């Protein structure tokens, strides 16, 4: 789930793409075709970036037949794309960064650092090493190029060509700083020779320190930070004076991890593989922050105790109830373990869902984003270098959970004004805030989401992706950094991402549509006619008459307004009173948006919807409550209550199908994978008789066995909030099964473990239930990769629906 559920679909070929492409576009769809390797569709353009000179763009494209991707280059003015062979790759460029005067650029290529003089075009390879370097940045004065290898930072002097470590961090106790204990002091007192040896050692050390302080050509003296911590992240200031070090306990126990078992192996023996830990088995490691003055060689801890609300307990009511219940049951040790900490622990290092450090371009200011481990608060704080402390600039509180998205932040070009995204209003908005001043929203409070903010090179504009026109319509907009009108720049309705050219005059735009994988275009940054640069789709796919989804609004009977959905039906649907069968598809991840004019993550599933329509069904795909794209309250609606608001929405969808499209209420099936599989199980077990049959693919049946990062946000920890887990887990409703249920799961799934489905299956066995089946796939993880398995699971789904939905006779 989370980001794991949003990984790209990869499958191995079982039918030659050429064979599929040659099939007549008018030929009926069949499972063999739509579940084969997706090579026959074409491939999405991925990871585009501008060349150093801004005249062309690079992008990646997956090959047919395997998961390897190649680098391509195309001119920004158009023309044919060139695939770079091994020789050409040696002269390629990586995504560039520039110094403040725009005289030099740097990039990473094959894990090494390169420097380019923009006037002459001269290119210098700075590193050639086995370990990959990353994060190149220029010093504030432009005289050095800084980069990192893991958590170690280096500085390359442009004039001398010398590379040196910016700092040397030692996570151990300084062997020279240890104070002698009583026995050692006695030895020194007794033996003059030992005193002479110690004096000589101290003299050598003092000399080395003096020489290092006076000679910039020497490697810096190490910082001895102690053996009780380790680095989670480090960030070097552009002026080279400061380093911020995010630390965590060196020996934090992540808890016991379950195993997944590989039954089909190269060796012929079964093999065990450790997976991730269960939620609540141990919280994430608490993190702290150190400020290092590299010039003065001093270290200060940056304490969090002054952050507003850091000493609050947002879970006090739930905590008190659970502790009282445990004490009443005689579990005093468990009750004691749930006592609230005096100071809430935080995480700081960026993990893709919040956190991180941002320096101003001149290195004079730093901002730190911190997130409470209980998921209820996010702070953005500046660093007071004079007083060695954090100063809160913004606090975001969410009584449910802080979103994984919309945590971007940084500095304006003035180096004194922060910018950040926040859901404080209920929707993601872009704000600017001068240090010590009031925050100002740059985007208005109408109901739309703002994401992917990029500041133009001249600092005058913010470019953002928004769904301002409609929840399902995404385009690039821009707004002045000083405030003003939010103006639409692209007109695609299916924009997915963008990158500003080095001079800020053009936008490279990734855009897609329901049957169009991501393609690349370039247009003026202020708006205008785009120039399409790629067409990577294949004619065998594009020539087919695919069913275009209709974007519809399903009225909520539970006070939720409307639920947006995609409806798939026949082209000439004239008889509104026909007794049609229907299927409701439920997207995965929970917090994901599938009702949009962008390409769908569910490429094969969308083709299966077409097959269902061909067979006489109509299909509804809903962005139920908890989905992305509709603001904070829509997301938070499932807090401590997963599977309940969503089911209300799905039942409203069924009622809408009956009323608007003549669907037989007794012939409605339901299916989905991951969170969609969970909702399929909840639908059959909490609303028996409503759905004729359901297929649950890789479903979480018991949230207590899912991961911590996702589950604890929505349901808190199971030890603290056991009632939320009981309310939200399908296995707790197993006794209600009465409708046919097909469960399908990969046996080496290390995201949602197959044990979830096997345990639920055993519950059904013990409850003497009928009409339930399980299909297990020995070589599949959470994201199915092999076309044979795709075909088999959907053959079973197709048979389930044709037997129990389409042909149902009451």
pLDDT tens column, 311-356? 999 999 999 999 999 999 999 999 999 999 999 999 998 877 778 9
Q: How many whole angstroms separate alpha carbon 787 and alpha carbon 749? A: 17
Q: Work out the average pLDDT over 264-271.
A: 97
Q: Kind and range of the H or E element at 604? A: helix 603-614
DSSP 378: E
Q: Percent of the chain at pLDDT above 90?
A: 89
Q: How many whole angstroms separate alpha carbon 220 and alpha carbon 152? A: 13
CB 807: neighbour CB atoms within 10 A? 10
Q: Evaluate whether 664 touches 641 at the Cβ level (below 8 Å).
A: no
Residue 691 has pLDDT above 70, yes or no: yes
Q: Work out the average pLDDT over 412-421.
A: 97
The per-residue pLDDT for 750 is 97
At 61, give phi and psi (nearest 5°).
-140, 130
The per-residue pLDDT for 20 is 42
Report pTM: 0.93
Mean pLDDT of the residues in the chain: 94
Q: Work out the average pLDDT over 627-632.
A: 98
With cut-offs at 50, 70 and 90, classify the pLDDT of residue 24.
low
Tokens encoding 749 = 């799934």
Phi-psi group of 716: left, alpha or beta (phi > 0 → left; psi -120 to 50 → alpha; rest → beta): left
Residue 361 has pLDDT above 80, yes or no: yes
Q: Work out the average pLDDT over 399-404.
A: 96
Q: How many whole angstroms separate alpha carbon 127 and alpha carbon 133? A: 8
Q: Work out the average pLDDT over 166-173.
A: 96
Angle at alpha carbon of residue 319, lines to 318 and 324, rounded to 5°: 100
Phi-psi group of 227: left, alpha or beta (phi > 0 → left; psi -120 to 50 → alpha; rest → beta): alpha
pLDDT tens column, 61-116? 999 999 999 999 999 999 999 999 999 999 999 999 999 999 999 999 999 999 99
**Sheet with 693-697: strands ordered across:** 550-555, 562-568, 618-622, 580-586, 663-673, 693-697, 741-746, 772-777
With cut-offs at 50, 70 and 90, classify the pLDDT of residue 496.
very high
Residues contacting residue 652 through CB under 8 Å, at least 6 positions apart:
554, 555, 556, 557, 558, 563
The per-residue pLDDT for 506 is 98
For residue 512, give the nearest of 473, 482, 484 by alpha carbon.
Answer: 473
Q: Evaluate whether 661 touches 637 at the Cβ level (below 8 Å).
A: no
Q: Kind and range of the H or E element at 757? A: helix 754-766
The per-residue pLDDT for 575 is 66
Residues contacting residue 360 through CB under 8 Å, at least 6 positions apart:
238, 366, 411, 415, 416
With cut-offs at 50, 70 and 90, classify the pLDDT of residue 576.
low
Q: How many whole angstroms separate alpha carbon 106 and alpha carbon 562? A: 49
Q: Work out the average pLDDT over 743-751.
A: 98
Q: How many whole angstroms separate alpha carbon 89 and alpha carbon 665? A: 59
Q: Work out the average pLDDT over 772-796.
A: 97
The per-residue pLDDT for 809 is 63
The per-residue pLDDT for 27 is 87
Q: How many whole angstroms separate alpha carbon 338 and alpha carbon 617? A: 51
The per-residue pLDDT for 437 is 95
For residue 565, give the nearest of 644, 633, 638, 649 by alpha carbon.
Answer: 649
> What are the helix (H) ranges across 627-732?
632-636, 645-661, 675-686, 708-715, 722-728
Residue 17 has pLDDT above 90, yes or no: no
Q: How many whole angstroms separate alpha carbon 70 and alpha carbon 83? A: 7
The per-residue pLDDT for 469 is 97
Tokens encoding 347 = 């995480």
With cut-offs at 50, 70 and 90, classify the pLDDT of residue 577.
low
Residue 624 has pLDDT above 90, yes or no: yes
Q: Kind and range of the H or E element at 761? A: helix 754-766
Q: Which residues pair with 563 in a beta bridge?
A: 554
Q: Report CA Rg, the chain.
A: 29
DSSP 56-88: EEEEEEEPTTSS-EEEEEEETT----EE--HHH
With cut-offs at 50, 70 and 90, classify the pLDDT of residue 266.
very high
End-to-end CA distance of the chain: 38
Residues contacting residue 186 through CB under 8 Å, at least 6 positions apart:
none
The SS3 call for residue 366 is strand
The per-residue pLDDT for 8 is 34
The per-residue pLDDT for 619 is 98
Q: Which of 185-189, 377-381, 691-695 has the lowest mean pLDDT?
A: 185-189
Residues contacting residue 216 through CB under 8 Å, at least 6 positions apart:
none
CB 621: neighbour CB atoms within 10 A? 25
């Amino acid at each position: 789930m989370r980001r794991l559920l949003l990984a790209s679909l990869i499958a191995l070929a079982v039918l030659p793409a050429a064979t599929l492409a040659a099939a007549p576009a008018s030929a009926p769809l069949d499972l063999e075709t739509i579940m084969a390797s997706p090579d026959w569709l074409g491939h999405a353009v991925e990871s585009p970036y501008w060349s150093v000179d801004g005249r062309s763009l690079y992008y990646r494209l997956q090959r047919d037949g395997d998961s390897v991707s190649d680098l391509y280059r195309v001119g920004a003015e158009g023309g044919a794309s060139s695939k770079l062979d091994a020789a050409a790759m040696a002269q390629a460029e990586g995504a560039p960064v520039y110094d403040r005067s725009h005289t030099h650029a740097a990039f990473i290529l094959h894990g090494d650092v390169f420097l380019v003089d923009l006037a002459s075009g001269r290119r210098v390879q700075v590193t050639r090493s086995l370990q990959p370097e990353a994060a190149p940045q220029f010093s504030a004065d432009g005289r050095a190029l800084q980069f990192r290898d893991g958590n170690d930072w280096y500085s390359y002097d442009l004039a001398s060509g010398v590379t040196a470590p910016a700092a040397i961090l030692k996570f151990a106790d300084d062997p020279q700083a240890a104070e002698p204990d009583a026995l050692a002091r006695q030895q020194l007192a007794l033996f003059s020779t030992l005193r002479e040896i110690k004096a000589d050692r101290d003299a050598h050390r003092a000399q080395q320190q003096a020489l290092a302080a006076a000679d910039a050509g020497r490697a810096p003296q190490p910082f001895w930070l102690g053996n009780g911590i380790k680095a989670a992240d480090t960030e070097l200031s552009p002026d080279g004076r400061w380093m911020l070090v995010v630390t965590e306990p060196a020996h934090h126990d992540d808890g016991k991890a379950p195993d997944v078992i590989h039954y089909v192996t190269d060796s012929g023996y079964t093999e065990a593989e450790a997976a991730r830990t269960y939620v609540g088995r141990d919280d994430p490691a608490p993190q702290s922050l150190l400020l290092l003055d590299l010039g003065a060689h001093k270290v200060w801890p940056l304490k969090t105790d002054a952050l507003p609300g850091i000493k609050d307990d947002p879970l006090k009511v739930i905590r008190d109830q659970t502790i009282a219940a445990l004490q009443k049951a005689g579990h005093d040790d468990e009750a004691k373990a749930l006592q609230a900490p005096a100071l809430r622990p935080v995480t700081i290092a960026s993990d893709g869902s919040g956190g991180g450090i941002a320096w101003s371009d001149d290195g004079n200011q730093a901002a730190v984003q911190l997130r409470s481990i209980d998921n209820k608060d996010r702070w953005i704080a500046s660093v007071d270098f004079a007083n060695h402390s954090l100063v809160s600039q913004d606090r975001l509180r969410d009584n449910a959970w802080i979103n994984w998205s919309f945590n971007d932040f940084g500095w304006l070009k003035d180096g004194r004004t922060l910018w950040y995204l926040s859901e404080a209003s209920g929707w993601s908005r872009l704000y600017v805030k001068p240090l010590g001043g009031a925050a100002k929203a740059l985007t208005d409070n109408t109901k739309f989401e703002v994401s992917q903010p990029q500041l133009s090179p001249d600092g005058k504009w913010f470019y953002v992706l928004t769904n301002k026109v409609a929840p399902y319509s995404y385009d690039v907009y821009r707004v002045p950094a000083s405030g003003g009108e939010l103006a639409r720049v692209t007109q695609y309705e299916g924009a997915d991402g963008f990158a500003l050219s080095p001079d800020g005059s053009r936008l490279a735009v990734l855009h897609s549509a329901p049957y169009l994988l991501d393609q690349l275009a370039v247009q003026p940054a202020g708006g205008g006619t785009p120039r399409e640069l790629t067409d990577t789709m294949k004619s065998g796919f594009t020539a087919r008459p695919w069913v275009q989804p209709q974007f519809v609004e399903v009225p909520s009977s539970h006070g939720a307004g409307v639920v947006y959905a995609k409806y798939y039906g026949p082209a000439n649907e004239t008889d509104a009173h026909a007794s049609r069968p229907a299927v409701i598809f439920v997207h995965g991840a929970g917090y994901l948006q599938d009702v949009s004019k962008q390409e769908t993550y569910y490429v094969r599933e969308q083709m299966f919807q077409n097959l269902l329509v061909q067979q006489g069904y109509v299909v509804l795909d809903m962005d139920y409550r908890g989905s992305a794209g509709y603001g904070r309250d829509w997301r938070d609606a499932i807090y401590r209550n997963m599977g309940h608001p969503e089911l209300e929405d799905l039942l409203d969808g069924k009622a809408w199908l009956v009323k608007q499209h003549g669907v037989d209420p007794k012939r409605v099936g339901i299916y989905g994978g991951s969170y969609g599989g969970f909702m399929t199980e909840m639908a059959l077990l909490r609303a028996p008789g409503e759905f004729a049959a359901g297929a649950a693919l890789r479903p979480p049946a018991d949230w207590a066995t899912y991961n911590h990062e996702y589950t604890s946000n929505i349901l808190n920890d199971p030890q603290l909030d056991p009632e939320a887990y009981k309310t939200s887990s399908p296995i707790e409703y197993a006794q209600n099964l009465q409708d046919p249920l097909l469960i399908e799961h990969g046996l080496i799934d290390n995201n949602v473990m197959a044990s979830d489905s096997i345990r639920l299956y055993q519950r059904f066995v013990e409850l003497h239930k009928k009409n339930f089946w399980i299909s297990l796939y020995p070589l599949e993880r959470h994201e199915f990769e092999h076309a044979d398995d795709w075909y088999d699971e959907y053959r079973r789904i197709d048979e389930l629906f044709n037997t129990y939905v389409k042909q149902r006779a009451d």
